[in-house]
Structure 1
Amino acid sequence: MDIRVVHHRSRAAGSVATVIDVTSRGPHPWVRCSPFYPHGGIPVPLSPGAVGTSVEAIWQALKVFDTAGVDRDLLTATRMTGLKRTVRRFGPVRGHRAGLDGTDLLDYETARRRIYLPAYRFVLDRHLGAELTQLRALATAGPVALLDYTTNGDVSDLTKPLSHAALIRLHVLNEWPPG
């Protein structure tokens, strides 16, 4: 299977047989692959019994800043916009809380591994079965380009945001978990 992760503005995607926009602005059903999509019922990692509506809501809710801690209200947000909590508003990021009631702060890479990856994996396994089946069929028939705003599939590369399209690719190719 030939599945490529391509920046959403790249012209290179045009040379591929099938182009799929998996961003929050993609068409239905592919928009459901976005970490911003409010599937609901996603377990909050390191927080037994707690759930969030989207992967991004969970990620942002557990982010801790100099002037703001965990934001539990984000866990119920059903919108796909306005979820990001920024340095401009709250000051420097100190880390991600190890669970809603945790006391430890996780560094960025550890947070990716212990919060983001498990939450997104849950979505892949429990909410995106039809989309992943369709993607496998398309990739078996010919090359596929997954469009995302970033193309970084290396969890350890902290210089760039992690690409959920790259995570989809790894999952479909049975190469999960990522490095």
Structure 2
Amino acid sequence: MRPLAQLIGAALLGAASTALATDFGQSIYAGMDARFDIATTPPYQDPEPELRILLQSKKAYSTRNHFCIVGYRWPDGHSFASVHWREGGLIVRWYGGTSWADDEFEWYFNKAVNLQTGVIDADDPQGSTFLVTLRQANGTLEDCRRYGRQYVVEPFTPPPPPPVEEDY
């Protein structure tokens, strides 16, 4: 009987941890059904080059910057990492690899949640496509604190811009 009780206990423990892993609470995102660890999931394993692109684009490379990154997956297989940049006051989506290095970086940045100007202290963003509620933003930040990875990017000197080719 004891082995059966251990099996049932292990099954219940496994079910509890699964339930906790998919309990997302308030979030700026909707419909995700799983988290993933970016440190073990390609193409998210090396975020620093992309974080440097973000810092270069915002000219914020001369001081230490802190990031929290957590990966989310949806039932249809869609996934991305949510990147909270503490000093910049932003939550930005990152699709891994060099997605920010592409010409579409401004699109990602325009879709970011600005924690200073894009958050309202109300229960409903009232149909806005760019505002989120304070509860949603805080829920996403707490989710990252609990399940995400913390990164620090030390001050750096960005590479010089590529030479401009002139047409003759």
Q: Would you say same fold, with TM above 0.5?
A: no
User: Which TM-score bucket, shorter chain as reference?
Assistant: under 0.3
Normalised by the length of structure 1, the TM-score is 0.23
Normalised by the length of structure 2, the TM-score is 0.24
Higher relative contact order (CA 8 A, sep 6+): 1
Higher strand share: 2
Higher helix share: 1
